[in-house]
Structure 1
Amino acid sequence: MSNPAAPHPISSVFLLHVALELPFAIQGLFMAEQLPFIEMTNTTLVITKIYAALSIGTCVGAVLCRGLPEFLPGKRAMALSLLVYHAIVAAVLMGCPRFVPFSFGVMAEQFTITPERSYAVLHGLAALGFAGWWQLTLPYVEAAKGNLKFQ
């Protein structure tokens, strides 16, 4: 293992969260009415803006956590919360009705490849990334608990 104070390379999964969330969050916060959603109402616009603000907050947290040592409880708590978030979003998007009036083409539609499902898969990959990060960094936690030296 490497230096316990240096972030593990898999900590880049925190940046994957930022890449998935920040574009939607910025547009949702500043131009929610231009999002390509079916049946937008004033209520959905307000909820979208509130969600976007929360999402930007998690992006800030993810950027700040990425550089922290792997054994810190705060970083692990942030990772666990992002894992739960991405897993739930993946499940919701995979089973939701179409709400984006955009298609990847006739062939994609035949294989039920839609924007909603594509985004669901990306969220599922992020959840797997955080689960992988959790498992790969457990030795750092054990070493920090027992004051063991890294080899």
Structure 2
Amino acid sequence: MAIQGLWSPLQLPFLQLNNTAIVFIKLYAALVAGTCVASLLCFSLPEFLPGKRALAIALCVYHVTCSTVLFNAPRFIPHSFGALAESYRATPEVMWGTLHGLVGLGFAVWWQATVQIAAAMAKIAKSQ
């Protein structure tokens, strides 16, 4: 989404792309690209660093918000997974929202799993 949104947003499979929508797609693509770069740079850092944990919680909020927006969005992707999928409301927007929700849940689980490590490191740093 980030690469195609920056270089050729008109080729994205969205309905009714006007100039305003294209500008918003480019802004969103820039946000996603910057977030991806920050995530790649923070990935190899130790689990207890505040910057890594702050980025993780920011990404959790971002993905959960995207999930909510996509679940409540009207149809804007002109593709279908078939009549059976449509009968279960399995549209591209809902599937995309589900993926965002799962990624957000993953960040929340990671955040909770590393709370003890961060607390122990903070205690060690305080005692020195």
Q: Same fold (TM over 0.5)?
A: yes
Offset at residue 140 of structure 1 (A): 1.1
Structure 1: 5+ residue runs without aligned partners?
A: 1-23
Q: CA RMSD in A?
A: 1.0
Once the two structures are superposed, residues 98-138 of structure 1 have per-residue CA deviations (whole angstroms, 9 ceiling, x without a partner) of 00010001111111100000000000001100000001011
What is the TM-score normalised by the length of structure 2?
0.95
Q: Which one-letter code corresponds to 1:69 in the other structure?
A: P
Q: Equivalent residue for 2:93? A: 116
Q: Equivalent residue for 1:105? A: 82
Once the two structures are superposed, residues 22-46 of structure 1 have per-residue CA deviations (whole angstroms, 9 ceiling, x without a partner) of xx11111111001111110011111
Q: Equivalent residue for 1:50? A: 27
Offset at residue 143 of structure 1 (A): 1.1
Higher relative contact order (CA 8 A, sep 6+): 1
Q: Which one-letter code corresponds to 1:94 in the other structure?
A: F
Once the two structures are superposed, residues 47-67 of structure 1 have per-residue CA deviations (whole angstroms, 9 ceiling, x without a partner) of 111110111000001111111
How many corresponding residue pairs? Answer: 125
The answer to whether the aligner puts 1:130 opposite 2:107 as a matched pair is yes
Structure 2: 5+ residue runs without aligned partners?
A: none
Offset at residue 90 of structure 1 (A): 0.4
Could you list the structure 1 runs, at least 4 aligned residues long, displaced by more than 2 angstroms after superposition: none
Which aligned pairs between 1:40-79 and structure 2 lie closer than 5 A?
A: 40-79=17-56
Q: Secondary structure at the match of 2:75?
A: coil
Q: Equivalent residue for 2:61? A: 84
Once the two structures are superposed, residues 67-106 of structure 1 have per-residue CA deviations (whole angstroms, 9 ceiling, x without a partner) of 1011111101100100000000001100110000100011
Taking the aligned partners of 1:38 and 1:142, their CA distance within structure 2 comes to: 48
| Aligned-residue identity in percent | 52
Q: Secondary structure at the match of 1:38?
A: coil
